[in-house]
Amino acid sequence: MAAQPPTRPVLLRTALAAAVALSAGVLAASPARAATGAITGLAGKCLDVAGAASADGTPVQLYDCNGTAAQQWTVGGDGTLRALGKCLDVTGNSTADGAKAQLWTCTGGANQKWTVTAAHDIVNPQADKCLDVTGNTSANGTPTQIWTCTGGANQKWNAPAAQTGEQCWATHYGPQPPGALTASGEVFDNNADTAATSLSRQPQLPFGTRVQVTNVANGRSLVVRINDRGTFVQTPQEPKCLDLTDGAFSRLGGSLNPDAGHIVVTQTVLG
């Protein structure tokens, strides 16, 4: 299974250029890789996007951890903290104590850059101030802000650690016939968070293995479950490691129309 749709000639040339770059060590020299998960703070509660809304200006608050997408933050190698496809942002590009933290379309601005320190502070370098739970209260819905760093418990956070996974290419299935079965015997679902590994992979990952996949280009990350085998081969010239469903490929930022062919990812086996 895991057949690939034809690749447009212009994208084929792009893929070839990427392969040459990889063999020259360019892709392998990627800087810090993104990591995704909950950010916990005061009273063990989570940094949360209010109402799971992705609209610009949505407050970022403290809330009971619930495992939803509103609490899944990607700590990017570019200094951003992202949830629901947008960035943690200091309102109005302010550097003043009490400036609110919110969700906003990623712009690359200094008010969207953060440093997670070894002391568990999350610092906005432009303001040289810490992400802070307002009023040092742990009530659900308490808004966050930036404030002069004090070392207080309301400024301490546990963020996902950087990943050290293997870097390679992830392709996608493309259209498959209705009722098609994966190598594990499941009915194929082209929108599920599942993937195929190459038959040539050694050692082979057992069916059911969970793998965290992160798009190097944008920091988007998700966990897929291995339920199929593909006939593609992973080589230094074409380091194809995973064949994702179209849905998973798209959620990671891969383009289906026009077909991107592959995205460069890191993969970390979770077990």
Least confident stretch, 106-115, 149-158, 205-214, 234-243: 234-243
Residue 4 has pLDDT above 50, yes or no: no
pLDDT at 27: 33
Q: Which of 134, 155, 176 is the last residue of a domain?
A: 155
Residue 1 lies in a domain: no
Top pLDDT among 236 and 9 is at 236
The per-residue pLDDT for range 197-219, each reduced to its tens digit, is 988 777 778 999 988 888 888 88
Whether 41 and 151 share a structural domain: yes
pLDDT at 162: 53
Whether 105 and 18 share a structural domain: no
60 phi, psi to nearest 5 deg: -110, 125
Q: Which of 133, 155, 177 is the last residue of a domain?
A: 155
Least confident stretch, 21-25, 109-113, 217-221: 21-25
pLDDT at 193: 96
Q: Return the beta strands (E) in the chain as ranges.
A: 35-37, 46-49, 60-63, 73-75, 81-83, 86-90, 101-104, 115-116, 122-124, 129-133, 142-147, 166-172, 194-198, 210-215, 221-230, 240-244, 263-269
Binned at pLDDT 50, 70 and 90, residue 271 comes out as: low
* Average pLDDT score over the chain: 84
Assess contact for 84 and 49: CB atoms under 8 A: yes
Percentage of the residues of the chain whose pLDDT score is greater than 70? 85
Domain enclosing residue 85, as ranges? 35-155
Which amino acid does the sequence have at 112? Q
Q: Which residue in this structure is represented by tokens 């008010």?
A: 111
Residue 124 CA, distance from chain mean position: 21
- Going by their DSSP bridges, the two strands 221-230 and 240-244 should be labelled as unpaired
pLDDT at 76: 79
CATH code for position 77:
2.80.10.50
pTM assigned to the model:
0.53
